[in-house]
Amino acid sequence: MKKILVTGGAGFIGNHLCRKLLADGNYVVCLDNFFTGLKKHIADLLDNPKFKLIEHDIVDTIDIDCEQIYNLACPASPPHYQYDSVKTLKTSVLGILNMLELAKKYNATILQASTSEVYGNPLQHPQNETYWGNVNPIGVRSCYDEGKRAAETLMMDYHRQHNTDIRIVRIFNTYGPNMDPKDGRVVSNCIMQALNGEDITVYGDGSQTRSFCYVDDLVNGLILMMNKEGITGPVNLGNPSERTVLNLAEMIKKLTDSKSKIVFKPLPSDDPIKRKPDITLAKNELGWEPKIDIEDGLKNTIEYFKTV
């Protein structure tokens, strides 16, 4: 049994990770300020003697004895991270500094949940970990994109200067139950609009591509990466099965048996045109690749959204 700290543990990915870590027999401390995380996501875990919830913002220092740290704390959807862009940048930079100091103090392994957004609007396709990206440093998405890039820099500098045991993963589009129906992401938007009989919004002409990974697959990848010796990353975690946004909207419309119309609106600023991970490194180093078919994953996600 390990004592594991999960920041952002009440968030979409975080709550699934907490459950899996508990199921594996660990003691889990969930840290969350509930800006985007929800207590209802982890409410059923509160009576578990191996689970502890602490309401805290990682921008502020905290002292928790732990063996592993999964740093997932940061709003990850554009409406959320653009709501207070300065706070988003503080969370990425000051937050990871505080967690790195904690890892240094207790000789803990720390995993940073980075993002495919570090690649920006990529000029290389698919994106592998050696690609440095094409990011607008002064755009409306920069608080998130550049914040995550700075966090990766700090991770590597602590590793080089203090021999901190680090792991960096770059997470591509992830979906599944417990997503926020109002997070502004394409999967949640399309499902909620389809279920409510509203027009299904597709931005641009819908030809931009994304690669969607089911949350259970992603969580398995995070745990494999954390427990793999001799690798710092970054390592891409995502589904290399690329599809257009229009294709996704049509699939959701079919799976929900919706009568909604698909309508087109202008593409948001700095929205990437292509996004597809090269997961060769994850396959070779971790023995990881997604297992869950998108149709099965969407069916599970749709069933969840019917309850919210």
CA distance 75 to 14: 12
Overall domain count for the chain: 1
Write down the catalytic residue from 144, 158, 175, 214.
144
Q: Decide if 119 is catalytic.
A: no
Strand partners, 174: 213
CB atoms within 10 A of CB 182: 13
pTM of the model: 0.94
Burial 193-222 (b: 16+ CB within 10 A, else e): bbbeeeebbbeeebebbbbbbbbbbbbbbb
Residue 193 lies in a domain: no
Residue 262 lies in a domain: no
State the pLDDT at residue 189: 94
CA distance 45 to 113: 23
DSSP 171: E
Residue 131 lies in a domain: yes
The helix (H) or strand (E) run that includes residue 119 is: none
Gyration radius of the chain's alpha carbons: 19
Strand partners, 245: none
CA distance 30 to 39: 11
pLDDT in tens, 168-210: 999 999 999 999 988 888 999 999 999 999 999 999 999 999 9
Residue 299 lies in a domain: no
CATH of the domain at 236: 3.40.50.720
Under a CB-based contact definition with an 8 Å cutoff, are residues 98 and 74 in contact?
no
More confident residue, 87 or 81: 87
Mean pLDDT of 6-33: 97
CA distance 157 to 150: 10
Residue 187 lies in a domain: no
CA distance 198 to 193: 5
Kindly give the pairing relationship between strand 209-211 and strand 242-244.
antiparallel
For 126, the domain range is 3-176+213-240+273-291
pLDDT in tens, 147-179: 999 999 999 999 999 999 999 999 999 999 999
Q: How many residues does the chain have?
A: 308
The token pair at 261 is 């119309």
Helix or strand or coil: residue 215?
helix
Residue 184 lies in a domain: no
Residue 149 lies in a domain: yes
State the pLDDT at residue 75: 85
Residue 286 lies in a domain: yes
The sign one gets for the Cα dihedral 8, 55, 91, 61 is negative
